[in-house]
Chains A and B, each alone.
Chain A
Amino acid sequence: MRIVQLHVNGDRRPAGVPEHYTLLETLRYALGLTGSKQGCDKGDCGACTVLVDGRPTLSCITPVWEVEGREVVTVEGLAAQGHPSPLQNAFDLMGAAQCGFCTPGILCSLSALLAETPAPDLPEIKEALSGNLCRCTGYTKIYEAVWAAVDPDRIEP
């Protein structure tokens, strides 16, 4: 066992975990933050993506000790005071989440994109999404959600 000192979604969270635990295991099993998903446990699908110091990171292949002292943001940390972010809201309105299992990872990847590129074009969105597999949507509604988040006028009533 090992005690790790984590900064997650603005909280300081110590956690006692087995030596080999990944960040994803720690989030899900030790901290109860089950928003980040395990789809493959090999870094292939992107469902476990979280932000570490603002960068999209595959938490299922990140040893937890690597992120000690760094800022970790999970999907649960994207909403401020219970208010969904414009991107989260747009995901609902535009039908970007069907089964929703890939959604937490995708929201983390896209949040990082929007932080750097406030009005991304399609190639930029595709590039940012390319590490996250979605099996439901064909990605189209996800692009539309990004644009709707950037420009709420695009959201239909």
Chain B
Amino acid sequence: MSDRAKAKSEQHLIGKPQRKIDGLAKSTGEARYTDDIALPGMLHGKILRSPHPHARIVSIDLEAALAIPGVHAAISGKDLPVRYGIIPWTPDEYPLCVERVRYIGDGVAAVAAVDEDTANQALEAIRVEYEELPAFLTPEDALGANGSDDAPFIHPARKEGRNGNVTKRVELEFGDVDSALAGSDVTVEGDYFFEGTTHTPIEPHCAIGQFDGTGKLTVWSATQVPHYLHRELARVLDLDPARVRVLQPLVGGAFGGKSEPFDLEFCVAKLAMLTGRPVKILYTREEVFYAHRGRHPFDMHYVTGATRDGMLTGVDARIVLDGGAYASFGLVTTYYSGQLLAAPYHIPAYRFDSTRVYTNKPACGPKRGHGSVQPRFAFEVQLDKLAEKLELDPIEFRRRNFMGAHRRTVNELRVTSNGFLECLEAVERASDWKEKFRKLPMGRGVGVAGSCYISGTNYPIYPNDMPQSAIQIQLDRSGRVAVFSGASEIGQGCDSMVAYVAAEELGVPLEYVRVLRGDTDFTPVDLGAYSSRVTFMLGNACIDAARKLRRKVQEAVAEHWGCRPAQVLLAGGRALYGPDTERQIPVDEAFQLAETRFGTLGATGWYNTPKDVHGDYRGGTIGASPAYSFTAHVAEVEVDEETGVVTVDKIWVAHDCGRALNPVLVEGQMEGSAYMGFAEALMEEHVFKGSEQGRAGLHNAPSLLDYRIPTSLDTPELESLIVESIDPEGPYGAKEAGEGPLHPSIPAIANAIYDAVGVRMDRLPFSAPRVWRALRRGRGVVTGLLLLAALAGCADPVPGADAGPARDTVVYSATPEDASIIRAKVVWGREEGLDTLAVGEAMASLGLTFLGTPYRPGTLEAPGEERVVVNLRELDCVTFVETVAALTELIRDPSVDPEADAARLEARFARALEARRYRGGELDGYPSRLHYFSEWIRDNHERGRVHDLTAELGGDAYPGPVDFMSTHPEAYRQLADPDVLTAVVAMEARESARPRFRIPEDRIQGVEAGIQAGDIIAATSAIEGLDVAHTGIAVRVNGRVHLLHAPLVGEEVQLSAVPLADRIKGIPGQDGIMVARPLDGAGVTRGNGSEPGGTARPTGQED
């Protein structure tokens, strides 16, 4: 190494561990956050919040509050009637609600008082009259709305005829996806659900407003976006922007949760303007949960294809985003949900269709890994399933599909440096992958996943061509370097980063650098801490400013030494002569030479992104970034098969950050990201109560005790493996590290759970009850490749189209013919308007279309373990009833698309069947099937799917055991298993003890008037130990009730020739009926099934 190079390398700061410039202040308690500031005469503000999820505000009376001594001001929405929103195209919020509240927690009024207690008293004195409106708590509800006056859309439709509950829909296709998938050798289709989560910074939001005698407003705020806040404050309060100053003290964590203006910032400003005194508002922790703007719940459907040799062919995605009450960043989220999936793999054809829906819950927004963490989870699990089908190691599969560096993605994003392969290799090696994958004992497993993320966005939130980031530097003759930075220090270390850059470029010790920050009066504009933009943009801006000054110093020193400027090095507090580094002067002398030569030394530097590095299509700019980071994780887990508890032992995190400017800080970002991903995978659920739980729209757990974020005891071991690809445009080659490394944690854990116990967890979080249920379904009993082979033939998991608990997997068996029958019946039913009839009428009409369908008993008794058998081609008396009821549900569910692909339609139908056929609507092995039809009726009655009319129609209670199955065990193959027999005997004991009702055969005709078309009829059995002998559907013919059914005698579905009453009387083994009226029910079916399996329903029935 030359002396020159040696001198340089020893003095480099970049790439080495350094202190943070605020590190000691944070360790001594000296660091000041917004709530640490107290101003003379400061008042305490509080915000009154809506108790209703959706309501019109009829009136607000502030008088009583204002009358309380010590209350200085009270305001409501009409005092600030200007809409705002972080995205200029979707301003849909008011600082305080004006006419309508849209979620529990929406702000309606605010007060300022001498102290917190008085402010709380004032809130209690405010009278608000509401007129409640129907609330839309799920995307399904919201999408089904018609916007009537009684149940208005959450926001007015932007165009006539549109659904106002839709924030944004994006449909983009790149390449011919249908052909690509059709030409694939293997495809995997799956449904996934990502639960909402929230940022949970430890510092609650806090703001202080001050308005001085000159008409200048100052706001201190714990915000990530002081510049946007500055703009919105001026606009909403109608102030000259030059008279507004935003100060950003240190921020105690944000993660995206403070990246737009919030009600408290407008309120402190307005209250300060009204009172002439400073006003502070500090959110309670509960308010932080309601302020939210966190991760959107996503319902996702993916089809992914590959060739036999393991090359991806195409990806088709359909996503519904549950957006909450306001748009927030939702327009961007909707694009990101699709746009950011296109790397690091080469995807020849890609289509996505994403819809963001308003619901009456706190608004969702950007959380670390904005909009791309959810699809990444689904997609990386899809890849794991594909790799398995292809019998490829999942790391090898990913490697094979690596897109390469300096390429365009299928959606035309320009990717520059790409260290993804190195990331894969790093985690593969560090985790000892080859010795572990599919080789660990039952209950232990490893999983891998990859991802990419943006390093900033190429376009600012509001259109303009000015720099996105800027720095001003001033040099002093003492050697001190003052850096003026408008960037947002939220703990990630951006203030330190600019200090490292300035010290590196100007050759001063780090302690010579001061960073003046977070003050819109004195620092150049930086757009904020979001989209992982700061290091890339601010770093480049700082290099730009520092180099302008460095050149001046070099020139002055060169003149002094009589050499060329390029021969002057600035390093380690000295100016050195390159060819002979013994020749040197202290840096302050060098600065003095420059100041003498050029006058006072100052410079600005800035950065703007390259344009035209994205596709020329609507939305093509969204997701375009100057550079992309890449990540790979391997997670190792243990799953307790008894309890379902998943323990993540370790996550290896390899991240291509381009260049680690300070590796300690980069590792901190990687570890913090992986931790947060782990938390979303296993613990966190930002969920709200439904109407069945009392207070619809109420946060389920707005505290840090109940919303469980990981403690030190929960968090796995995290190992950071930095990969440096040296980006050609990044500062010293750097890219982002703050968000990318979160993504793969979740799919890596899901894939590891599968490796451990063979269950696919396609719904977050992987909580113990959910894993336990999946294991109980009998899917976790085989290990390793054995299991894979067994599952390879199974349909892929498909979640419900419905809300709530419907999203687990359902395992079923069906044939292509079944899918076409389902499709045809749904189309026919819709054409016939069955979705507009009473459900019973619909069932009767639909049932008649099955006339002539062959009778076949025992179709449910497939070999292997119990699964939901779908067979519309051959029916017995019970499967006929179940099939007609399930199809009716599909016809009447508007979210069912008859044009959907076969697997999706079949799965939806299988769920509807499962909901009726199994106890609690959930398949859990053979004993969970509702073998005795009296239990079938009661269980479906309890779940609102039918209404049992037997007693109401005058039926008698009749005693007697039901034990036909256990007294005839030879008739049921499954009863050979002693565990199954035990379960069946227990079920029979339970059933025998319960009251049953029947309408005796001689009274049937007398109650016929109470039986409607479509009612489910069960003929009671005279055989001892058996409750029901036969089933069918009531149909009215010439004023009499006849039975539509699938009987053994007759060999096909038919309508009874004689009325039901006469028929029962004529059959010796049947002595009465039970009647159950079908209902539309909750429409919620639970998914999941098990291995192939089956058994017989009680023989001895007529059919």
> Using a CB–CB distance below 8 Å, which chain A residues touch chain B?
18, 28-29, 32-42, 44-45, 47, 74-76, 78-79, 84, 88-89, 91-95, 97-104, 107, 125-127, 129-142, 156-157
Contacts and interface: CB of A to CB of B under 8 A. Distances in A.
A95 B672 contact: no
Contacts of B715: 138-139
Given A40-B285, A134-B202, A101 B252 contact: yes
Contacts of B200: 135
B17 A44 contact: no
B672 A133 contact: no
A36 B202 contact: no
Contacts of A42: 285, 703-705
Contacts of A137: 668, 671-672, 675
Contacts of A125: 712
Contacts of A140: 667, 671, 717-718, 720
B28 A78 contact: yes
Chain A to chain B: the 6 pairs with minimum beta-carbon distance, closest first: A35-B29, A99-B491, A101-B252, A138-B675, A100-B26, A92-B23
A88 B28 contact: yes
Most interface-central of B20, B23, B284, B285 (chain A CB within 10 A): B23
Contact of B36 (A34, A84, A130): A34
Nearest to A101: B252
Nearest to A103: B26
Most interface-central of B17, B19, B29, B711 (chain A CB within 10 A): B29
B589 interface: no
A92 B676 CA distance: 22
A38 B203 CA distance: 7
A56 B285 CA distance: 22
B30 interface: yes
A32 B674 CA distance: 37
Most interface-central of B27, B203, B711 (chain A CB within 10 A): B27
Contacts of B713: 126-127, 130
Given A100-B250, A103-B26, A138-B675, A37 B667 contact: no
Given A34-B29, A138-B715, A139-B715, A98 B709 contact: no
Given A126-B713, A141-B667, A135 B201 contact: yes
17 contacts: A32-B38, A34-B29, A34-B35, A94-B664, A98-B672, A99-B250, A100-B22, A100-B250, A101-B252, A107-B27, A125-B712, A126-B713, A129-B712, A133-B711, A134-B202, A135-B200, A135-B201
Interface majority SS on B: helix, strand, loop or mixed? loop
Contact of A98 (B24, B33, B668): B668
B712 A130 contact: yes
Contact of B202 (A32, A99, A130): A99
Contacts of B33: 37, 101
B243 interface: no
A92 B18 CA distance: 9
Contacts of B676: 135, 138
B204 interface: yes
A74 B720 CA distance: 33
B932 to A, nearest CB: 49
B28 A40 contact: no
A29 B22 CA distance: 24
Contact of A47 (B24, B202, B251, B667): B202
A157 B711 CA distance: 30
Contacts of B704: 39-40, 42, 44-45, 133
A95 B26 contact: no
B665 interface: yes
A34 to B, nearest CB: 4
Nearest to B204: A39
A135 B492 CA distance: 12
B201 A92 contact: no
B29 A104 contact: yes
Contact of A101 (B38, B202, B255): B202
B792 interface: no
Nearest to A107: B27
Contacts of A138: 671-672, 674-676, 715, 718
B32 interface: yes
A84 B19 CA distance: 14
Contacts of A107: 27
Interface of B: 16-17, 19-20, 22-33, 35-36, 38, 117, 199-204, 250-255, 282, 284-285, 490-493, 664-665, 667-668, 671-672, 674-676, 703-705, 709, 711-713, 715, 717-718, 720
B664 A95 contact: yes
Interface majority SS on A: helix, strand, loop or mixed? loop
Contacts of A95: 17, 20, 23, 664-665, 667-668
B23 A74 contact: no
Nearest to B255: A135
A101 B32 contact: no
Given A91-B26, A133-B711, 13 more contacts: A74-B29, A75-B29, A91-B27, A92-B26, A99-B202, A100-B27, A100-B252, A103-B26, A134-B202, A135-B676, A137-B668, A140-B720, A141-B664
Contacts of B16: 157
Contact of B711 (A89, A101, A129): A129
B202 A76 contact: no
Most interface-central of A36, A37, A138 (chain B CB within 10 A): A138
A99 B253 CA distance: 5
A139 B679 CA distance: 13
B285 A101 contact: no
Contact of B201 (A34, A75, A97, A99): A99
Contact of B17 (A36, A142, A156): A156
Contacts of B250: 99-100
Contacts of A129: 711-712
Contacts of B22: 100
Contacts of A79: 28
A37 B33 CA distance: 9
A132 B715 CA distance: 13
B17 A157 contact: yes
A136 B672 contact: yes
Most interface-central of A44, A47, A98, A127 (chain B CB within 10 A): A98
B285 A39 contact: yes
A89 to B, nearest CB: 7
Contacts of B717: 140
Contacts of A33: 29
B671 A100 contact: no
Nearest to A32: B38
Given A41-B284, A42-B285, A44-B704, A136 B668 contact: yes
Nearest to B201: A135
B491 A136 contact: yes
B875 to A, nearest CB: 56
A157 B13 CA distance: 11
Contacts of A93: 17, 19, 23
Contacts of A103: 26-27
Nearest to B719: A140
A139 B30 CA distance: 22
A19 to B, nearest CB: 11
Nearest to A125: B712
Most interface-central of B16, B38, B671 (chain A CB within 10 A): B671
Given A99-B250, A135-B253, A136-B491, A39 B24 contact: no
Contact of B709 (A32, A99, A104, A133): A133
A44 B703 contact: yes
A78 B27 CA distance: 9
B202 A45 contact: yes
B675 A139 contact: yes
Given A37-B33, A39-B203, A130-B712, A101 B671 contact: no
Contacts of A133: 202, 704, 709, 711
A37 B19 contact: no
A78 B23 CA distance: 15
Contact of A89 (B24, B32, B671): B24
Most interface-central of B16, B204, B492 (chain A CB within 10 A): B204
Most interface-central of A93, A94, A98, A99 (chain B CB within 10 A): A99
